[in-house]
Chains A and B, each alone.
Chain A
């Protein structure tokens, strides 16, 4: 059961290559109506029907929340991933009918903030595209610091600078430009909230420095969708539904449970929202936890797993599902 994820029937209205790695996809409602309202930082789960296989991946909405005639997402090609991004790049063409979830926001702006300080790394720029558009539309105070590998891979850097001028600051790895993070964090006025989206290493670095420099945890927001990683196939027994299933190499545990006709709750499919948390009844082997939801203690206990992103290696695994 897809809690809160009522489906939307959409059609791909445009596919735009942005650079060597990133392609943008535009979706409109098949019935021509407006799409549901969303706020900056929201994502949708895109269903990718690839022959026998259905993958469901979350992508941040990057259009302006002020315009709901279409949804836009940007997908970075991941040649080593499970194939979701490759499917989007190779098989999704204008006119294709697809299904996406209602938008869900797990990375929303705290509008009580006096100022919004945003740090983006790489494709982590996408939620900020929507958030900056939202704030610019309401006279919000923000600045965005965006790190990219090279200027040509600085997805939307040009658009952002055109729209927001010197509110946008770019850092290029190949020119050895680095954020002076401690100075940046120490010079923000009281009432600033911090938002980080990018690679896990960047998020950890920023959260760690912010905590050391006295930023209260309530003021630090981050989002890192852990795309489900491929791995060795493994067998799982679903005790409640009385089924034993095999999780394929390119399949997530959640997808395998769904493919067996069991309908567990989910929301983000990226290991952050907590909806699909599942109790472990017994196991003999080793968990590969990839989520940002469970505590380290939960991970060690062997009592819980987030099937959207985490896997298992070993002899047996029995889940309460």
Chain B
């Protein structure tokens, strides 16, 4: 996990079982392992009231490990967009006492958190654990377009084509890091791209 540089840069923790009867997990890729690790310390019957929503990603791994937890509900989705309606519905019908656990890439944690914030859960009330890729979701501050899975510094905006410095400045409302034009003074100056967020 990246070191804290500025105050808006999210800090993630380690999932731990919370009191209550209902537990909703949203995870992608290696985030599954955070749930499996947490399950070792969970009290008996914990997963009887749990729902796990999982995006396996390209490798398609970890599905069996999550199934073995025998949660009340287990749902596999191909992408965040595809699970969004289900997540919104679950949150709309949920009651106080349901706890939310987010694990995996920053993009997944941030986007699920964005939906949960709108549903009324405070971000400090959510359990988060970063696992896997450091790829960032980035908003271009110039055209406002969002570019997913940014791994380089600087990065090219997928919308307006500007070359952007990917800042640690993060917006929970947008679930995105801010990208600011790196060569506004002299567009002919092209700094080399480095693989900064593998």
Contacts and interface: CB of A to CB of B under 8 A. Distances in A.
B120 A190 contact: yes
Given A211-B19, A212-B19, A113 B120 contact: yes
Interface in B114-160: 119-122, 124-125
B125 A219 contact: yes
Contacts of A189: 94-96, 120
A300 interface: no
Residue among B92, B94, B120, B124 having the largest count of chain A Cβ atoms under 10 Å: B120
By size class, the interface of chain B is: 10 to 19
A314 interface: no
A211 B19 CA distance: 7
Interface in B86-100: 91-92, 94-99
Contacts of B98: 190, 214
Contacts of B124: 216, 218
Contacts, number: 64
Interface residues of A, number: 20
Nearest to B124: A218
Contacts of A112: 120, 122
Contacts of B92: 190
B21 interface: yes
A190 B22 contact: no
Given A213-B20, A213-B21, A218 B99 contact: no
Nearest to B90: A190
Contacts of A185: 96-97
A219 to B, nearest CB: 7
B125 A218 contact: yes
Contact of B95 (A113, A190, A212, A219): A190
A113 B94 CA distance: 15
B19 A191 contact: no
A219 B120 CA distance: 10
B96 A219 contact: yes
B16 interface: no
Contacts of B121: 190-191, 216
B91 A214 contact: no
A103 B120 CA distance: 29
Nearest to B18: A214
A186 B97 contact: yes
A191 B20 CA distance: 16
A216 B122 contact: yes
Interface in A96-114: 112-114
A214 B120 contact: no
B120 A218 contact: no
Given A216-B122, A216-B125, A218-B124, A192 B19 contact: no
A194 B122 CA distance: 14
A216 B99 CA distance: 8
Contact of A214 (B20, B119, B122): B20
Given A213-B20, A214-B20, A214-B22, A192 B122 contact: no
Interface in A169-227: 185-192, 194, 211-216, 218-219
B120 A114 contact: yes
A192 B122 CA distance: 11
Interface string B16-44: 00111110000000000000000000000
A214 B94 contact: no
Contacts of A211: 19
Nearest to B121: A190
Nearest to A211: B19
A286 to B, nearest CB: 35
A78 to B, nearest CB: 35
Interface string A6-47: 000000000000000000000000000000000000000000
7 contacts: A187-B95, A190-B96, A190-B121, A191-B120, A192-B96, A212-B19, A213-B19
Interface of A: 112-114, 185-192, 194, 211-216, 218-219
Given A189-B120, A190-B91, A214-B22, 10 more contacts: A112-B122, A185-B97, A186-B97, A190-B96, A190-B119, A191-B96, A213-B96, A214-B19, A214-B96, A215-B20
Interface of B: 18-22, 91-92, 94-99, 119-122, 124-125
